[in-house]
Amino acid sequence: MDLPCAKLFYLLLFFMLSTLPADAAATPEGRSGLINIPTAYVLKPFHGGTGYFNFPGGDSFSGNIAVLPRVELGYSRWRSESSRDYNLYSGKVVLLEELVLRPAIAIGVDDIGGKLDRSYYLTVSKQGPWGIRLHLGARSGASNGLFYAMEKQIRLTDDWRKKLPFIPIFNLALEYDGQHFNYGAYVRNKHGFRLDLGWRDERFYYGVQLEF
């Protein structure tokens, strides 16, 4: 193998080894994503997740499940101190799965029943080296327009995993949802139990999730 080919081979190998499995946890809206935006990832077939999120003045119970490969359904029940409760449904389909040199692409719909604001979206996600993921998309509805995000995932080394067995994965996220900049963090253990906290729609929030 000559030098240029060897460099290309090791570069591709580096990208493959540094690409981490994609998480697809539930957001407060039920669909998988980051803080307030959808990503192009879904759960593995026949896997699901459920979560509880608390905001000033209200909270949300949500969940999602992959009923078929590349197809995911989501649900959320919003409760507010000043208005009635809402049951919202969503769906997402992955058009292209991610490869080393190709991003994942998905389309979806939020609030299928039109209780608050039905919207459609197209989103693209790509994992890169050093645990960094980038997301870009566009959607219709009241918050129509472009959205984008960057997240950084940190996996603890073996020594730190022995000291902190509950926190093998730590994630930081920054996003623009078309109206606001949101940021947050979560810790997740190997059993799918996850704790979230951050700043969403100019409000502090926290959440607890479980993937199964």
Report pLDDT for 81: 73
For 86-145, write each residue's pLDDT tens digit: 899 999 999 999 999 999 999 999 999 998 889 999 999 999 998 899 999 999 988 789
Q: Per-residue confidence at 21, pLDDT binned at 50, 70, 90?
A: very low
pLDDT at 6 over 70: no
Q: Return the exposure string of 43-77: e unless at least 16 CB atoms fall within 10 Å of the residue's CB, then b.
A: beeeebbbbbbebeebbbbbbbbbeeeeebbbbbe
Place of tokens 């030098």: 3
Residue 152, sorted as left (phi over 0), alpha (psi -120 to 50) or beta, turns out to be: beta
Beta pairing partners, 51: 62, 209
Report pLDDT for 23: 58
Report pLDDT for 103: 97
Report pLDDT for 165: 61
Is 74 or 163 the better-scoring residue by pLDDT? 74
Report pLDDT for 16: 38
Q: Are 51 and 209 in contact (CB under 8 A)?
A: yes
Q: Determine the residue type at 160.
A: W
Which pair of tokens denotes residue 75? Answer: 């649900």
Q: Considering only CA atoms, which of 193, 121, 110, 186 is closest in space to residue 151?
A: 186
Report pLDDT for 141: 86
For 145-197, write each residue's pLDDT tens digit: 999 999 998 876 666 556 566 567 789 999 999 999 999 999 888 788 999 99
Q: Are 133 and 125 in contact (CB under 8 A)?
A: yes
DSSP E strands, 45-118: 48-55, 58-68, 71-80, 86-96, 104-110
